[in-house]
């Protein structure tokens, strides 16, 4: 009985690895002009704002570092 189960399992595993092509994916649709509002919009907006703040902080740090190099520190 166990031999039969192992044989069936082995055949299923081999069948899953076949090279048969699957159905092709439908072509990607072009994004529409008006985006639909989702539940993640607020989080995405906050993430974009945080990235902008991080970029500004990095630019300010680079300016301070350059000013220190110019002063000879």
Whether residue 18 lies inside any domain: the answer is no
For residue 44, give its domain range: 39-73
Whether residue 15 lies inside any domain: the answer is no
DSSP label of 46: H
Whether residue 65 lies inside any domain: the answer is yes
Whether residue 55 lies inside any domain: the answer is yes
pLDDT given for residue 38 in this prediction: 87
pLDDT, one tens digit per residue, over 26-62 is 666 665 567 788 888 999 999 999 999 999 999 999 9
From residue 18, alpha-carbon distances to 5, 9, 29, 61 in Å are 21, 15, 30, 56
Residue 30: HSE in the Cβ half-sphere, 13 Å Cα cutoff: 2
Whether residue 59 lies inside any domain: the answer is yes
pLDDT given for residue 34 in this prediction: 76
Whether residue 14 lies inside any domain: the answer is no
Whether residue 70 lies inside any domain: the answer is yes
pLDDT given for residue 25 in this prediction: 63
The total number of structural domains in the chain stands at 1
- How open is the CA angle 65-69-73, to the nearest 5 degrees? 105
């Amino acid at each position: 009985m166990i031999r039969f189960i192992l044989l069936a399992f082995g055949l299923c595993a081999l069948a899953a690895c076949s090279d048969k092509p699957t159905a092709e994916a439908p072509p990607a649709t072009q994004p529409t002009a008006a985006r639909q509002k989702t539940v993640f919009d607020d989080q995405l907006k906050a993430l974009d704002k945080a990235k902008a703040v991080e970029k500004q902080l990095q630019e300010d740090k680079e300016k301070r570092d350059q000013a220190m190099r110019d002063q000879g520190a």
